[in-house]
Amino acid sequence: MASISELEPLFRFFMRFYRGQRYSHTPNTPLSKPLPDCNIALITTAGFYINGQQPYGNGDCSYREIPNTIRTHELKIGHKSVAYDKTDTKTDANLVFPLDRFRELESEGKIGSLNHRHFSFMGSISKPKRLIAKTAPEVAQMLKSDGVDVAFITPV
């Protein structure tokens, strides 16, 4: 991780005045069964979307449903932060959304099944109130309804 002094002036300015938030409790549910018996979903903050879905806007707290049948090269990147270098992600989406790697784990029997859908949010949200109050709980409820045992999250 870079120190603030190593950042470009614009990012140093932003970081100096950005008020981070601390949370006193992080929810955790211990895994109650072996991974080969689990239904797994992927969640990323890479800002992916697919054809037919609306691209993300600045500060967008919404999410996009990504079907498990998608080929990773079809994913479109809608992340808006200028601090996020998308170069390598454009070459291999698995760097931030390891769907192909999880498919390999599934075929090897190391994990149970992949959920029929996964989710993408846009990272770098400086005003996350709506994300915390509305959109993240919506996704959590959908995952629960799908019977997902493990949500693998890749923050970008």
pLDDT tens string 16-66: 776 666 777 777 788 999 999 999 999 999 999 999 999 998 889 999 999
Give the pLDDT of residue 19.
Answer: 67
Q: Count of alpha carbons within 13 Å of 34, Cβ hemisphere only?
A: 5
Asked whether residue 101 is domain-assigned, the answer is: yes
pLDDT tens-digit readout, 33-47? 999 999 999 999 999
Give the pLDDT of residue 49.
Answer: 97
Asked whether residue 49 is domain-assigned, the answer is: yes
Give me 34's structure tokens: 């072996």
DSSP state letter for 70: -
Asked whether residue 34 is domain-assigned, the answer is: no
Name the residue range of residue 127's domain. 39-154
**Average pLDDT, integer, range 127-147:** 95
Asked whether residue 14 is domain-assigned, the answer is: no
Give the pLDDT of residue 55.
Answer: 93
65 forms beta bridges with 119
Give the integer Cα–Cα distance in Å for 149 and 152.
10
For CA atoms 70, 73, 77, 83, give the dihedral sign: positive
Q: How many domains does the chain have?
A: 1
Decide: helix, strand or coil at residue 99.
helix
- Alpha carbon distances (Å) from 106 to 8, 41, 119, 151: 42, 12, 18, 15
**Average pLDDT, integer, range 105-112:** 98
Asked whether residue 95 is domain-assigned, the answer is: yes
Asked whether residue 10 is domain-assigned, the answer is: no
pTM of the model: 0.87
Asked whether residue 138 is domain-assigned, the answer is: yes
